[in-house]
Structure 1
Amino acid sequence: MGYIFEQEIEQILNTVRAKTIGEGENITLRDILGSSTHPGLKAYFRAEVEKFLEDERSREIRSKRFPYTHPEASSLQRQIDLVLVQQYQFPQEEFVRVLDEAVHFQFNYLCRPQWTLLNYIVGERRRIPVSEIERKLSRCIDYQYFPELIRRYCIDKGLAEVTYEEFKTLVERIDAEIVARHTPAELAAMTRSLLQFVDFGKASPHDANNQPTLPTNAVIVFFEDKRIDTVTRRLEFERDQKNRMMLTLPELASVLGEVLTDKLAPVVEAPEVPEPVESIPPQPVPGNGQMADQKKEGPADQGESAGQTNANFLPGVVDMFTPADVKRFTKSIFRKDSMAFRRALEQIELLTAWDATSHFLDDLFVAQSVDPFSREAVEFTDRIYARFFPSRDRTTP
């Protein structure tokens, strides 16, 4: 990375261990998902277990005499797999190994997403199947414009595989378009996910106004990855000449405002990125010690096969529930915690693809200790499903 963030990473590792396995001999994925650890790490653990199960399934010998692909059999298999995944047990040693991988992956992805996507998804191969890209993207829950638009590109082009050069250019183009559509203040706000991850491990002190801070070196890496040289040079000057080793988001916004114009021009050509990039709205920079509310909209319709819907035409989640529904689901799923119910709906509102939403619901039911196959959970899931596919019944094969 050019810089070593051993202290930040070690403190995050210690925080997660304390919030999860502690000194225990083992821990289930269900308990990890139900803990207060960082969502990105939960996604990594879940994806790892799903990969374990997928590998085990690939070694099974199944007779062609039995209709394993029958809709009812497939539905039951998915339910069984969900239980198996959630009840997977990590021994202490394996947990520590996967956690170390997860924290390093998340830190790299948040600091330098272009570099991480290219090296993690494609690596040294010359081409990669789209199915594998899709599976690996499940670990990337921040910067949703990357997974959303990569999927959209593959679907629109009807690709079965992507070459190294094509993927590299696509990722660069996506990021360049995002940069071009954001003001300096909004670019500063894009580091919020990185700041929250660092702050999660209490790796850096807050400033005198109790605002969370980021290591200046981490911010330099962030903008190096985006190839905005004027910003990296200015940040290096702030660090070396003014001894500013930590920055708050408002301070970063002020620095960017001094060196950038209101909009930046895209710097990478082709392949064409789907137009929905510009539907991602600006994110306000927090001030006065308060973190601003983060609202995102996703790309436009990718087609029902992808479970992707134009965020501009998605019905509001809150509007899908009557007062009676709110009362009932608050009691049956959220333990009479109306604020928890409201927060869940606000988080669902940010999701623009059914695949990501279904994972969120799985984690929600785990966190609330709710049977995902109970009548209330199924009804709640169906209600959210109808937001993406209003003309389809989720129970229909």
Structure 2
Amino acid sequence: MFEEQINFLQEKIRINTIDSNESIILRVILESNIPQCIKVYFRARAKSEVNKEKENVLRSPQLAYNNQDVIALQNQIDLLLLHNYQFSKEEFYSILEQGLNFSFNYLVRPQWTLKEFLLQKSQFLSSNEVDDHFQYCNDYNYYSIIIKQYFESKDPNYQLGFEELTQLLKKVDIEVLSGHTSTELAKVFQPIFKLISYSNNENIEEIKIPTKAPILYFEDKGMTTIATRLSSERENGLREISLPQLATIIERIKTGNNDFIAHPEIFKEEKEEEVKIIIQKEEPAVQFQEINSQLEEEIDLRTENYKTEEIYPTSQPLPPIFTLQEKSQIIRLLFDGNEHECDSFIVDVLDSIDVQSADSIIQSYFEESNIDVNLPVSIKFYTTLKDRYILLRSV
């Protein structure tokens, strides 16, 4: 169904990343102008390889691997290893093909794909496997959030079988989508349009995809009324469909108002500035704190009311954490424009009792706010804030 689009995407992504080179590192992929779902897929593969390498390292009980400073430094080393993970040309092409096929399957038939992907050759799914597998999924984040919460309500050793997973996925969709308007239902299916828009540079509201795709999507979710109507429209000549057309058909089904027409304007996307992940090629982990050094462009978040002021040495003031541009982007994209909430959150992180607590606060906020941790702005915020925490504890 999407063979032509997949082939075109493969070539365009190749040109924008590895091109004619023999290899490429993950950092270059993450900074490239390619679909986010493909960046996420490559990152997950690289992280899997880094974790395998760590498992093979022999650790002597005489060495203090559980020391907080050692853990903090090891986390920085792991991040550098991850972002500098090198894919050969052959490996890159293979993973790219797998990533595109997985993305199209997941975006069109999420329940079916998750059942196949989460269980794979196993009959049962553990909590750790859920975390590992969902690293490959960029969209429909509500699945991972609710399934992880489900595991948290169970015994730590609890395992999920096929039938239970099937029922859970159905329940998730019913609870999440039952109150959606026609426009909201169409927008949930928006990621596939967004992926295809990368291949032809059209605005998302102008993109048309095979009508078979939303038919499969709504069949996958058990919304047979919508799927049946779309099948009828397809038989009557509607071979391709746009987001506005999809919203129009859904609204006519839900209300019976056959005069309704969805306006394309409501599907227009706001263009977001890209934030580069600032990790220098040869930069050692101990120098992470030097990333933000342009003092004339930066803003100091500390005030006399902040508890964290006590841990700043008065004779050696530290540079501010983020530049004005970085902070503006963080407030807009991660805190819904609430500067006070952003500042308070930063203080809470910096006042954590240890690096694990700081890490937990950031991760919990991302999960509770349904923020994509693989976005460049998320990675920048996470790594820079953790680096500052570690630096403060070392002065």
> TM-score by structure 1 length?
0.70
2:218 partner letter: F
Equivalent residue number for residue 82 of structure 2 = 85
Q: Residue 162 and residue 192 in structure 1: after superposition, are their counterparts in 2 closer, same or farther (change >3 A)?
A: same
In the TM superposition, residue 379 of structure 1 has moved relative to its aligned partner by 7.6
Q: Residue 291 and residue 342 in structure 1: after superposition, are their counterparts in 2 closer, same or farther (change >3 A)?
A: farther
Q: Of the candidates 247, 250, 253, which is equivalent to residue 253 of structure 1? A: 247
Contact 2:23 2:87 in 1 (8 A): yes
Equivalent residue number for residue 291 of structure 1 = 268
RMSD between aligned residues: 3.4
* Partner deviation per Cα, 1:219-272 (whole Å, 9 max, x = no partner): 11111111211211211221221x22222211111111122359xxxxxxxxxx
Larger Rg: 2
In the TM superposition, residue 33 of structure 1 has moved relative to its aligned partner by 0.5
In the TM superposition, residue 365 of structure 1 has moved relative to its aligned partner by 8.5
Q: Of the candidates 343, 366, 376, which is equivalent to residue 354 of structure 1? A: 366
Equivalent residue number for residue 388 of structure 1 = none
Q: Residue 259 and residue 124 in structure 1: after superposition, are their counterparts in 2 closer, same or farther (change >3 A)?
A: farther
Q: Secondary structure of 1:140's match?
A: coil
Q: Distance in 2 between matches of 1:192 and 1:381?
A: 37
2:185 maps to 1:192: no
2:218 maps to 1:223: yes
Q: Of the candidates 28, 33, 54, which is equivalent to residue 30 of structure 2? A: 33
Q: Distance in 1 between matches of 2:138 and 2:145?
A: 10
Q: Distance in 2 between matches of 1:57 and 1:380?
A: 22
Q: Residue 213 and residue 87 in structure 1: after superposition, are their counterparts in 2 closer, same or farther (change >3 A)?
A: same
Contact 1:188 1:253 in 2 (8 A): yes
Q: Residue 254 and residue 51 in structure 1: after superposition, are their counterparts in 2 closer, same or farther (change >3 A)?
A: same
Equivalent residue number for residue 120 of structure 1 = 117
Equivalent residue number for residue 316 of structure 2 = none
Q: Residue 394 and residue 224 in structure 1: after superposition, are their counterparts in 2 closer, same or farther (change >3 A)?
A: farther
Instruction: Please show how residues 108-257 of structure 1 align to structure 2 within 5 Å.
Output: 108-160=105-157, 161-202=159-200, 211-241=206-236, 243-257=237-251
* Partner deviation per Cα, 1:93-126 (whole Å, 9 max, x = no partner): 1000111111111111111111111110112422
In the TM superposition, residue 333 of structure 1 has moved relative to its aligned partner by 5.5
Q: Which moved more, 1:176-185 or 1:352-361?
A: 352-361
In the TM superposition, residue 395 of structure 1 has moved relative to its aligned partner by 6.4
In the TM superposition, residue 146 of structure 1 has moved relative to its aligned partner by 0.8
Equivalent residue number for residue 285 of structure 2 = none
Aligned residues: 315
In the TM superposition, residue 30 of structure 1 has moved relative to its aligned partner by 0.4
Q: Residue 358 and residue 111 in structure 1: after superposition, are their counterparts in 2 closer, same or farther (change >3 A)?
A: closer
Contact 1:249 1:286 in 2 (8 A): no
Q: Distance in 2 between matches of 1:261 and 1:288?
A: 21
Q: Residue 381 and residue 150 in structure 1: after superposition, are their counterparts in 2 closer, same or farther (change >3 A)?
A: farther
Question: Which segments of structure 1 move beyond 6 Å, counting only runs of 4 or more?
Answer: 379-382, 393-396
* Partner deviation per Cα, 1:134-176 (whole Å, 9 max, x = no partner): 1111222211111111111111224432222222211111012
Q: Distance in 1 between matches of 2:112 and 2:100?
A: 16
2:169 partner letter: V
Q: Secondary structure of 1:354's match?
A: helix
In the TM superposition, residue 341 of structure 1 has moved relative to its aligned partner by 5.4
Q: Secondary structure of 1:195's match?
A: helix
Instruction: Please show how residues 288-367 of structure 1 align to structure 2 within 5 Å.
Output: 288=265, 291=268, 324-325=299-300, 338=325, 342-349=328-335, 353-354=365-366, 359-360=373-374, 363-364=376-377
Q: Residue 73 and residue 123 in structure 1: after superposition, are their counterparts in 2 closer, same or farther (change >3 A)?
A: same
Q: Residue 286 and residue 120 in structure 1: after superposition, are their counterparts in 2 closer, same or farther (change >3 A)?
A: farther
Instruction: Please show how residues 272-283 of structure 1 align to structure 2 within 5 Å.
Output: none
Contact 1:199 1:213 in 2 (8 A): no
Q: Distance in 1 between matches of 2:193 and 2:82?
A: 30
Equivalent residue number for residue 314 of structure 1 = none
Contact 2:37 2:139 in 1 (8 A): yes
Q: Residue 140 and residue 349 in structure 1: after superposition, are their counterparts in 2 closer, same or farther (change >3 A)?
A: farther
2:366 partner letter: W
Contact 1:12 1:202 in 2 (8 A): no
1:232 partner letter: A
Q: Distance in 2 between matches of 1:195 and 1:87?
A: 31
Equivalent residue number for residue 295 of structure 2 = none
Q: Secondary structure of 1:90's match?
A: strand
Name structure 2 gaps, 5 residues minimum: 257-261, 272-297, 302-319, 337-362
* Identity over aligned pairs, percent: 27
Q: Distance in 2 between matches of 1:287 and 1:145?
A: 26
Contact 1:109 1:117 in 2 (8 A): yes
Q: Distance in 1 between matches of 2:20 and 2:125?
A: 40
Q: Secondary structure of 2:264's match?
A: coil
